[in-house]
Structure 1
Amino acid sequence: MTDIKKDWYLLYCKGKEELRALTNLKNQGIDSFFPTMKVERKVRNKLTSKEVVIFPNYLFVEIDKETANFNSIRSTRGVIDFVKCGANYTKVPVALVAELKVKQLCRDKSADEVTEYNAGEQVIIQEGPFKGIEAIYQCKDGLERAVLLINLIHNVTTMSVANAEIKSKLAR
C-alpha cells in the first residue's frame, strides 16, 4: 500500500474567475480552496452581506506531485498558471491552509451572528432620530427591521427600527 503525499500549491487565476476555476477543478476531482469572508455594507440605507475574496486571483489546490497532471490543471478554465519560484512550483504549508480554513469558518459564523439578537438583549440605536438611546430587543419585524422596547420620558414604548440602526450593547 503506497502512502499518497499531497501538497498544497498556489494557482494564479484570471480576474474574478476564482469560483469558475474552483468549480472546474472540483469537476476534475481536485481539492481546491480560496478564502472568502462575508462583509456587511450599508447600501442605500440597507444592510447587505456580500462574499468577498481575501486573496483576489489566487486559489489553493491540493495535489499529489507524483500523479497529478500539472498541464491539465494549468489548462483549466479560469486558471492562468501555477505560482512559481524560478522553475519550481510554490508549495504552501499545510498548516497555513488549515488555519485559513478554520479562520474562514469562524468569520462566517461571526458574520451570521452580527445581525442576530436574542429577545431581551440590550441594544443601542446607532442612527436616526433615536441615536444613542438604549433599548431592549423584542423580536424581528420582517427581514430588515426589529421591534425594540424603549423608555422615553418614563414611558415604555414599543417601536420598529431598521436592523442596520442597532448594535448590541455588549459589542461596544
Structure 2
Amino acid sequence: MKTWSVVFTKPRQEAVARENLARQAFLPYLPMLKQPKRLRGRWVEVVEPLFPRYLFVALDFGVQDLSPIRSTLGVVDLVRFGPEPATVPEGIVESLMAAEDPAAACHLVRAEPFQKGDRVTIAAGPFAGIEAIFEAPTGKGRVAVLLDLLGRVARVQIDRNHIVCAPSTSQPAGPA
C-alpha cells in the first residue's frame, strides 16, 4: 500500500527532484501556486512551489528500495522522525490534488493583489509617497484609488505597478 512521504530538496530544485524521482519509477507530487508578485517594479503572475524545498512522494514501504531517493539529483533526503521517514496523514495530499485548478495544474491565488479598502502607498508617479485606499481595478493595467487631497476625497486612476502595500500604522491612511 502506497503512503505519501515528504522529500526535502535543494534550494530551488523542487522541479528537478520531481523529474528525477519520476524517472526512477517513484510517484512524486509537487503542488504549485500561481500568484501575483511584484518583480522589478511590475506585478507579474508567477508559479512557485506551494511548499518551497519540499515535495511529496508515494512510497510502498517494505517493497520499494528508498536508498536511491537520497542520491537523486535535487534531493537532500526524505524528511524523517528519527530513523523512519515521516508519513503524511491519509487524505492530505489527495485534498491538495483536488484543490488544484485543472486548467492551470496549480493552486490559484486571487489575480488582484489588493482588495477594496486595502491601504496602499503610491510608489511612483506624481503622487509618489502618498498613502491611499485601493478601490478597484479599472482594466488595462490601471487601478482606482482614493486619495485625501486638500481635505477632500478624490478618486484617481493610476498604473497598477505604481502601488505597493502600505506599512502598517495605527493611524488611518486617508479617506474612510
Alignment TM class, shorter chain as reference: 0.5 to 0.7
Q: Secondary structure at the match of 1:72?
A: helix
1:47 maps onto 2:43 in alignment: yes
Aligned to 1:81: 77
The 1:7–1:15 alpha-carbon spacing in structure 2 relative to 1, beyond 3 Å, is same
TM-score (structure 2 length as normaliser): 0.58
1:90 maps onto 2:90 in alignment: no
Aligned to 2:60: 64
Q: What are the Cα deviations for residues 25-75 of structure 1, in whole angstroms up to 9, with x where unaligned?
A: 111221111222122123355320112223222111002113211011221
The residue type paired with residue 101 of structure 1 is M
The residue type paired with residue 90 of structure 2 is V
Equivalent runs, 1:110-125 vs 2, <5 Å: 111=110
Aligned to 1:26: 22
Percent of residue pairs bearing the same amino acid type: 27
Equivalent runs, 1:5-24 vs 2, <5 Å: 5-24=1-20
Superposed displacement of residue 134, structure 1? 8.2
Aligned to 1:108: 107
Worse-superposed segment, 45-54 or 88-97: 45-54
Q: Secondary structure at the match of 2:18?
A: helix
| More helix by percentage | 1
Q: Secondary structure at the match of 1:98?
A: helix
The 1:88–1:44 alpha-carbon spacing in structure 2 relative to 1, beyond 3 Å, is closer
**Does structure 1 conserve the Cα–Cα contact (< 8 Å) formed by 2:35 and 2:108?**
no
Structure 1 Cα separation of the partners of residues 15 and 41 of structure 2:
29
Q: Secondary structure at the match of 1:92?
A: coil
TM-score (structure 1 length as normaliser): 0.59
Task: Give unmatched runs, 5+ long, in structure 2.
Answer: 114-119, 143-157, 163-176
Equivalent runs, 1:134-153 vs 2, <5 Å: 145=141
Superposed displacement of residue 162, structure 1? 5.4
The residue type paired with residue 103 of structure 1 is A
Superposed displacement of residue 132, structure 1? 7.9
Count of residues paired in the alignment: 139
The RMSD of aligned alpha carbons is 3.7
**Does structure 1 conserve the Cα–Cα contact (< 8 Å) formed by 2:33 and 2:109?**
no
